[in-house]
Amino acid sequence: MDNFFDNWPFYGQVALVLFLLAVAGFFSMAETSMVSSNRHRLRAMAKHGNAGAALAERLLKRLDSLLSVLLISNSLINTVLSILVTGIALHIFGDSGLVLTIATLVAALLIIIFSEITPKVIGAAFPERIASTVGWFILPLILVLKPLLWLINSFVSGLMAISGLRASQEHQAMSKEELRSLVLESNRFFSNQHRDILLNLFNLENILVDDVMTPRSKIEILDLSRPIEEVIEQLETCYHNKLPVCDGDSERIVGILSVKKTLSLLGDSELQHQDFRSLVSEPYFIPSGTPISQQMQFFQDNQQRLSLVVNEYGEVLGLVTFEDIVEELIGEFTTSLSNLSNDPRWLADGTYLASGGASLRDLNRLLNLNLPLDGPRTLNGLILEKLEAIPDHDVSIRIAGVVMEIVQFDDQGVKTVKLYRPHSPDIEA
């Protein structure tokens, strides 16, 4: 050993130490980048022609061999490094216990900083990019050390079998929360609108028809027991494609009438009620609490676009259409915002004027609020639940951090509410 240090110049010894530190750092960085890589991202890169990503994905399928060759190489180099640094120190400063202790600490510090921590941080910061490159250097080592790797892996497998452990060979699918996290982290790949659509898909099973339906009080119903002139006038001025139909009793819906089918009849001066009754189709009723994912499947299977929501007593609670469900996924795509102001955004003074019938879900989505959704579904219902009475004078309350000033009300409930943006100057004042 002394001959080695005598024959090599000092700068050559230092260069060898630096080289071994770099090689050890390479293996540490390769290990971290490989283990930290997202396999789905590697697969996507491979499909776009990245051969390095394809190789990394293939190496990760034999994780035992990959880790074995990286750890063996790294451990051997770190051992040689420790011996080399200690030998250099003893050769220069003499053989003493203090020199040996200091040399050991210096070697450990060099290995920890330059061969472990720094390379691992870099590998964790750019996992897929590094993994798709280092695989070309690791593959030859795996082939050369294959007999040794087989022996080591057999021994490890035996220990795991004795311990009752078993390595899973199946690829574990990503959970819904993992997919949601990926979408949230993909801001630079998706527009905000596309990202919101994907996020809405994750919530589809938790949204009920009650959340998106038009409530019973806002449904336009065609009563065929009224004079024929009034029926025709309602059809001529109707803004809807289909209307629920009753025959005297508005609580008993007898069918659905397509307004489009009646257009050819409206010019006939001898129209009778029976002409419209012949066009009425059977209504579809669905129970309250049906998930919109299930309802969407029903619309697709039955080629329908409208259903009536009923409670356990058969009473109509509301009406849900295919468009209501689509709007829940992609956002409002009609020009009608009857329960919200014309411009669904906060004003410059941090206020927003909303109808009492505004949906809490819509307010949360459009104004970025966090109003509770586990109870009432409208702003009026939320305020009445909080007050436990119908207000008889102007009053302001705070719910979920939002100050609400009741602007207009009547004997039936709250009609108009001014909302104050959380943490806006108006609230603090």
Instruction: Write the single-letter amino acid at 264.
Output: S
**181 has pLDDT over 90:** no
Mean pLDDT of 218-223: 91
Is pLDDT larger for residue 103 or for residue 5? 103
Task: Give the phi and the psi of residue 269 in degrees, each rounded to 5.
Answer: -75, -15
**428 has pLDDT over 80:** no
Task: Give the phi and the psi of residue 339 in degrees, each rounded to 5.
Answer: -95, 0
Give the whole-angstrom CA distance, residue 321 versus residue 34.
49
Q: Which two tokens stand for residue 10?
A: 């000092």
pLDDT tens digits, one per residue of 133-158: 999 999 998 888 888 888 887 887 78
Is pLDDT larger for residue 203 or for residue 304? 304
User: How open is the CA angle 407-362-203, to the nearest 5 degrees?
Assistant: 150
**352 has pLDDT over 80:** yes
pLDDT tens digits, one per residue of 399-418: 988 898 888 888 778 888 88
| Contact predicate 242/258, CB 8 Å | yes
Give the residue from 1, 170, 146, 152 showing the smallest Cα distance to 83: 1
As a residue count, the chain comes to 429
What is the pLDDT, as a whole number, of residue 1? 52
**15 has pLDDT over 90:** no
Mean pLDDT of 167-193: 67
User: Average pLDDT of the chain?
Assistant: 83
Give the whole-angstrom CA distance, residue 145 versus residue 117.
26
Sheet containing 316-321: give its strands across: 214-215, 316-321, 306-310, 285-287
